[in-house]
């Protein structure tokens, strides 16, 4: 598992990490300070304790010392066996000679020479005490006690264990709590991020708003986001409205110009010389493209605004194809292309919007015409399950996979293919309009061999109140 | 009474008036024109043309209103009316037909001369 | 003064005749009676007299010697200038018991009954009955006879034999530590 640099870590992990590290550090510092204090003060405590013990034993041995009873003194020291930490002890008489001695089992038998003053020291793993033994104010001897520092070590080990246990528990607990609480922050934030990504991809529903969960900065982000999206929405709406309005306004003048051109070509303004004729013919072509483009813009804008209406009625394949191929006989003949019709004349009944279906078919025929220089264009009607299918197949240039991917979107690659592809919105509109008719359009193509577009709409089933 | 048939063009756009006017004149018809609905209705009553080309988007009185009036008047109700509009769509066509129009063409979609074919079918 | 004090301290030195682990002074450095004198003084530290025992003599502690005095100057030297819990120590000597010293004897806190009084022991003890006097002696079977502390000997060592009941009857409290280092006897 790679450790990410902090700045790349997801927010969830960051927050959890911060919480856990903070609490761990605090805990560790506290423990460290505590243990440090212990290690500094405990030696004093140990010395004090040993001195106290020496006092007690000393007091008890006054008689033994006073009356020279070394046996009693010995048995007194022997009671030290009960304290596992006492390493050795020695009672000295007034001359400084050992009077009674004790060593812990297993310890080497050595006792230091007597020290007359009251001393206690903590060093080299041992606590040592020299304690004058007094009887009613008279000195009767000296007591030496030596203990190991095991007690302190045990304490330290215990503290370390407890620290580790508590530390571990605290770590887990803070991990648990942090990972629960981080949701408060990351949850709303992730929502915003996801939503933004959706919108950037173009898949976001601009009418949906984010839930504002709190008054903190996250809440502010959500609110700002909502406002922002609202503005986007407004801009979108304005754009669509603009397109719609402008397109409408453009339709009339364009139609007028086209009309003038037609009249001129008809000779109503007088005889035309070849140059004039060729100019006007060029203008006519362009004018028609203009008009088509405006119509497409209007259709696309309707689709985007969601205001498409469909008029579904039963209609025969025969009628649809008949209307579609009207006026195309001449251009086809001009290019030397064959038009084949298969299965069209059978009485298949479709349930669709006549104008839209015919328009779609005409569009496909137009495309096929543009992309094919030799061979034929075939219009094929057949049934597939509960759908009626009309195929338009050509022997034209075909398309590569990349082009096909973007075929039905608004983002078509136009460029050198433009003059063959026509006004780029056609297939986007067709795709959507087919959807509104409960149908679809699909394509197969091979570069250099040809293309086949397939329109499918529901078959008309009488008596069921409409389509299947 | 000339032997030419008279066609009334009710159309607010000057450009279209010119286009259709020239077209019809060249085809041998007498051309009358009105630039708004009210005038169109008046002229229909006065001149009783042989055919009316009616636009839908008219000022002062819109196309459907004019249609109603013409069809509502005994003197004019028999005159063939061809709707000539930028609006395409089944709904518009349906409404026009219901109100008594004889035919419907969409401006810009078909070459203006195709109108001539239609007119011929109503004025043999 | 200081020299005497030092002598006194050193006198308490155990003769270290048989310390555990060996090593120590073998021979008797100080005489037997120096040690016994020191012990007499030390007894005071381990015995508690009732309050009325201090009524006389300005609250001083009185060590009496009845009969032949084996201690000599040693004892006087030890007690001179010494105070135990703020009380000075006096030494009083008595001649052989003749029955007339009873009152004075009773005013002693510690009474050493010399070996010379062996035959008069019963009378002496009878006279002292009920008085808070710590009786010490070398006479044989002293505790059995009703005495409180007897100096005995075990090899080179001077040992103590104590009759705590006798002390208790006299109104004295003996420290358990003292009892610890002694042999306990009951009176017959």
Scanning A306-373, the segments in alpha helix (DSSP H) are: 317-325, 329-335, 354-371
Mean pLDDT of chain C: 82
CA of B83, closest CA in chain A: separation in Å?
16
A66 and C12: CB-CB below 8 Å?
Answer: yes
Least CA distance to B112: which residue of chain A?
Answer: A259
Chains in contact with A, where contact requires at least 3 CB pairs less than 8 Å apart: B, C
Instruction: Find, among B66, B106, B113, the residue nearest to B86 by Cα.
Output: B106
Tokens 């063959």 found at:
A420
Which of A63, A93, A100 lies at the smallest CB-CB distance from C177? A63
The values of phi and psi at residue C90, to 5°, are -115, 150
The structure tokens listed for A296 are 């497409």
The CATH number of the domain where C98 resides is what? 3.40.50
How high is the pLDDT of residue A426? 86
In order along its 468 residues, chain A shows pLDDT tens digits of 677 788 888 888 888 888 888 888 888 898 889 888 888 888 888 999 999 999 999 999 999 999 888 888 999 999 999 988 899 999 999 888 898 999 998 888 888 888 889 999 988 788 999 999 998 888 999 999 999 988 888 888 888 888 888 888 888 888 888 878 888 778 878 888 888 888 787 766 777 777 777 788 878 888 888 888 888 888 888 888 888 888 888 888 999 999 999 999 988 999 999 999 999 999 998 898 888 888 888 888 888 888 888 888 899 898 899 888 888 888 888 888 888 888 887 778 899 998 899 989 988 998 888 888 888 899 999 888 889 999 999 988 888 888 888 888 876 655 445 444 445 788 889 999 999 999 999 999 988 888 999 999 999 888 755 454
How many residues would you count in chain C?
188
The values of phi and psi at residue A344, to 5°, are -75, -30
In order along its 124 residues, chain B shows pLDDT tens digits of 457 899 999 999 999 999 999 999 999 999 999 999 999 999 999 999 999 999 998 999 989 999 999 999 999 989 999 999 988 877 888 899 999 999 999 887 777 778 998 999 998 7
Query: Can you tell me the distance from the alpha carbon of A121 to that of A115, in angstroms, rounded to the nearest whole number?
Result: 12
Burial of C151 (0-12, 13-18, 19+ CB in 10 A): buried
CA of C92, closest CA in chain A: separation in Å?
23
Q: Which residues pair with A460 in a beta bridge?
A: A467
A136 and C84: CB-CB below 8 Å?
Answer: yes
- Please count the structural domains in chain C: 1
- Start-to-end CA distance of chain A, whole Å, equals 56
Query: Can you tell me the distance from the alpha carbon of A149 to that of A165, in angstroms, rounded to the nearest whole number?
Result: 24
Least CA distance to C45: which residue of chain A?
Answer: A136
Query: Can you tell me the distance from the alpha carbon of A431 to that of A439, in angstroms, rounded to the nearest whole number?
Result: 9
Residues spanned by the domain of C137: 2-184
CA of A160, closest CA in chain C: separation in Å?
43
In the 8-state DSSP scheme, what is residue A113? P
CA of B69, closest CA in chain A: separation in Å?
26
Q: Is the pLDDT of residue C18 over 50?
A: no
Is it the case that chain C and chain B have 3 or more CB pairs lying under 8 Å apart?
Answer: no
A252 touches B at CB < 8 Å = yes
Contact residues, chain C to chain A, C-beta under 8 Å: 9-10, 12-16, 18-21, 23-25, 35, 39, 42, 44-46, 84-85, 157-160, 175, 177-178, 180-182
Which chain A residues touch B86 with a CB distance below 8 Å? 251-252, 255
Query: Can you tell me the distance from the alpha carbon of C36 to that of A93, in angstroms, rounded to the nearest whole number?
Result: 17
Query: Hey, what domains does chain B have and what are their CATH numbers?
Result: 6-122 (3.40.50.2300)
Which chain A residues touch B31 with a CB distance below 8 Å? none
Query: Can you tell me the distance from the alpha carbon of A208 to that of A210, in angstroms, rounded to the nearest whole number?
Result: 7
Which of B23, B91, B108 lies at the smallest CB-CB distance from A291? B108
Contact residues, chain A to chain C, C-beta under 8 Å: 60, 62-70, 72, 74, 93-95, 97-101, 109, 135-140
How high is the pLDDT of residue A412? 61
How many residues would you count in chain A?
468
CA of A47, closest CA in chain C: separation in Å?
26
**pLDDT band with cut points at 50, 70 and 90 for residue C6:** low
Is it the case that chain A and chain B have 3 or more CB pairs lying under 8 Å apart?
Answer: yes
**A268 with B113: CB under 8 angstroms?**
no
Which chain C residues touch A98 with a CB distance below 8 Å? 19, 21, 23-24
Angle at A211 between CA A206 and CA A217, to 5 degrees: 110
What is the ipTM metric for this complex? 0.86
Q: List, in order, residues 6 or more apart from A70 with CB less than 8 Å away.
A: A64, A99, A100, C14, C16, C18, C19, C20
A266 and B88: CB-CB below 8 Å?
Answer: no
Q: Is the pLDDT of residue C24 over 50?
A: no
């Amino acid at each position: 598992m790679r450790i990410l640099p902090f700045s790349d870590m997801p927010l969830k992990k960051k927050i959890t990490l911060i919480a856990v590290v903070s609490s761990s550090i605090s805990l560790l510092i506290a423990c460290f300070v505590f243990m440090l204090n212990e290690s500094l003060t405990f030696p004093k405590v140990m010395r004090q304790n040993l001195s106290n013990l020496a006092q007690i034993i000393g007091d008890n041995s006054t008689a033994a010392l006073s009356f020279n009873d070394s046996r009693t003194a010995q048995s007194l020291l022997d009671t030290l066996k009960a304290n596992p930490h006492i390493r050795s002890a020695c009672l000295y008489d007034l001359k400084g000679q050992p009077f009674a001695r004790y060593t812990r089992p297993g310890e080497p038998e050595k006792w230091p020479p007597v020290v007359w003053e009251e001393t206690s020291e903590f060093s080299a793993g041992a606590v040592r005490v020299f304690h004058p033994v007094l009887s009613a104010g008279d000195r009767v001897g000296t007591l030496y006690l030596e203990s190991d520092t095991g007690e302190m070590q045990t304490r330290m080990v215990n503290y370390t264990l407890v620290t580790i246990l508590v530390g571990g528990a605290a770590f887990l607990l803070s991990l648990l709590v942090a990972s629960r609480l981080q949701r408060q922050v990351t949850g709303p934030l992730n929502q915003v991020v996801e939503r933004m990504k959706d919108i950037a991809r173009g898949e976001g529903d601009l009418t949906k708003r984010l839930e504002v969960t709190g008054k903190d900065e996250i809440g502010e982000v959500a609110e700002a986001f909502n406002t922002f999206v609202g503005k986007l929405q407004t801009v979108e709406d304005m754009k669509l409205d603009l397109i719609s309005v402008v397109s409408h306004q453009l339709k009339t003048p364009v139609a007028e110009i086209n009309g003038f051109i037609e009249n001129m070509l008809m000779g109503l303004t007088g005889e035309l010389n070849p140059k004039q004729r060729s100019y006007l013919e060029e203008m006519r072509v362009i004018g028609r493209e203009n008009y088509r483009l405006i119509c497409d813009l209007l259709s696309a804008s309707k689709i985007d605004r969601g205001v498409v209406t469909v008029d579904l009625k039963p209609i025969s394949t025969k009628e649809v194809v008949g209307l579609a191929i009207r006026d195309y006989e001449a251009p086809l003949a001009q290019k030397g292309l064959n038009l084949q019709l298969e299965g069209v004349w059978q009485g298949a009944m479709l349930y669709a919007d006549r104008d839209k279906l015919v328009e779609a078919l005409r569009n496909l025929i137009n495309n096929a015409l543009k992309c094919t220089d030799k061979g034929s264009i075939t219009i094929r009607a057949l049934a597939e399950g509960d759908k009626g299918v009309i195929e338009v197949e050509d022997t034209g240039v075909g398309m590569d996979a990349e082009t096909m991917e973007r075929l039905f979107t608004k983002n078509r690659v136009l460029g050198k293919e433009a003059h063959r592809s026509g006004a780029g919105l056609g297939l986007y509109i067709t795709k959507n309009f087919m959807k509104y008719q409960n149908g679809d359009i699909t394509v197969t193509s091979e570069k250099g061999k040809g293309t086949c577009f397939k329109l499918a709409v529901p078959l008309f089933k009488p008596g069921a109140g409409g389509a299947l | 009474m000339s032997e030419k048939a008279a066609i009334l063009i009710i159309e607010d756009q000057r450009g279209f008036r010119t286009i259709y006017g020239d077209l019809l004149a060249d085809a041998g018809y007498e051309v009358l024109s009105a630039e708004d609905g009210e005038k169109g209705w008046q002229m229909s009553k006065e001149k009783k043309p042989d055919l009316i080309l009616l636009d839908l988007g008219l000022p002062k009185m819109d196309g459907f209103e004019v249609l109603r009036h013409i069809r509502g008047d005994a003197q004019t109700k028999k005159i063939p009316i061809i709707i000539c509009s930028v609006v395409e769509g089944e709904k518009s066509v349906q409404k026009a037909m219901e109100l008594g129009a004889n035919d419907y063409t969409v401006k810009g979609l078909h070459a203006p001369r195709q109108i001539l074919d239609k007119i011929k079918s109503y004025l043999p | 003064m200081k020299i005497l004090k030092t002598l006194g301290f050193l006198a308490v030195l155990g003769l270290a005749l048989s310390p555990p682990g060996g090593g120590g002074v073998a021979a008797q450095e100080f005489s037997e009676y120096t040690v016994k004198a020191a012990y007499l003084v030390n007894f005071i530290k381990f015995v508690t007299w009732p309050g009325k025992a201090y009524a006389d003599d300005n609250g001083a502690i009185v060590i009496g010697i009845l009969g032949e005095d084996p201690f000599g100057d040693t004892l006087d030297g030890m007690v001179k200038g010494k105070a135990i819990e703020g009380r000075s120590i006096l030494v009083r000597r008595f001649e052989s018991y003749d029955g007339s010293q009873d009152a004075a004897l009773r005013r002693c806190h510690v009474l050493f009954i010399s070996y010379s009084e062996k035959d008069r022991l019963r009378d002496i003890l009878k006279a002292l009955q009920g008085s808070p006097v710590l009786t010490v002696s070398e006479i044989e079977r002293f505790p059995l006879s009703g005495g409180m502390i007897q100096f005995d000997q075990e090899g080179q060592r001077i040992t103590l034999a104590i009759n705590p009941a006798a002390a208790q009857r006299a109104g004295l409290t003996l420290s358990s530590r003292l009892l610890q280092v002694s042999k306990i006897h009951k009176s017959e």
